Structure 1
Amino acid sequence: MFHFTGKAQSKNAELPVPPVVFDSKGELILSPSSTSSKNDFDFFAGNWKIHNRMLKKKPDNTIEWTEFESTQEMRIILRGIGNVDNFIAERNGKPFEGMTLRLFNPQTKLWNIYWADSNFGVLGLPPVVGSFENKVGHFFSKDNYNGKNLLTVYRWDARDPNNPIWSQATSEDNGKTWEWNWFMYMRR
């Protein structure tokens, strides 16, 4: 059984999110780190047990954190330039399955990350795009949620490759501030 202390969340949330840059049309400009590589996600290959901590906003704008367990299995594909994983959990008493497809573009040196799940049955577009630097990856996309334009960032913190942390945040002000809404604490 995983015992969550909150220290890992605090340590991860305190990492700075790199500044977000836009072109004259308002599109994201994403550049890879100098060390970006097709091997960035190799630490994640195999089977994982995950403790999830997810932010739930209530209609009265109060917030509540919900916690649940899941498992994930990741396989490297496409001769090393991609990987796919299977995320299994029970949410609200119902089985839930998600799938992530990560593809490394050798020309741009950027990762494109796509998500699909058993609730919607479609590939989530646009992908989040980015790279790792010093074992921490940041992946961004522009989204629209309930009529609001948002930026989304996924963070992969692999500084401890045996206990990586994935987290997600959104920004309503083009990346000036971020609201962290999901943390996944992984262990073998």
Structure 2
Amino acid sequence: MSNLNLVLASPANQLMANVITEWDRQLASQKIPKSALDAVRTYEAQLQPDKTYGVYILCSPDGMGGGKPPYEAFVHVNHAFPKSPKPMLRMTWNRLAPRYEWSANPINDHARVFTGIVTGGLKLIGGPLPSKEMKVYLYNHADRAFGKRFVGALTGMPLPFNVSLQGNWLHLGL
């Protein structure tokens, strides 16, 4: 997973359309109707990124501003208060590739992909979306279980940031 990164989906790189096409194939292979991605298909395809909001895909960058498969997940990223003394990166809605629904090892796969999302977020706050804090919304039980283990594993380690769990939010602050 080391070559994976968060890549901004845009109309120019058609990354979201490529994700939907690949994920439709994954659904078809399990004989699951394409309607399982209707929310993604209608909302994501219309989303226009701006300087503070976008959908990022966890994939291998293609070197031309896009990404190539496998498309592991996507996450909505909001760069809140970018011109204030305390800018914040919020990762609000994530979805893993459909193939993880029938994974033989869902806990390890979820942890691996979610770690990629968190690592990608840390790269964003240290680069194009400079921030003093990153918050990751933990949407479901699997996300919250990972967040709890993540915080437990990092607590007490010498890190350049603080890590905590507050409600459904994983906080990483500088």
Query: Is TM more than 0.5 here?
Result: no
* TM-score under structure 2 length normalisation: 0.32
More strand by share: 1
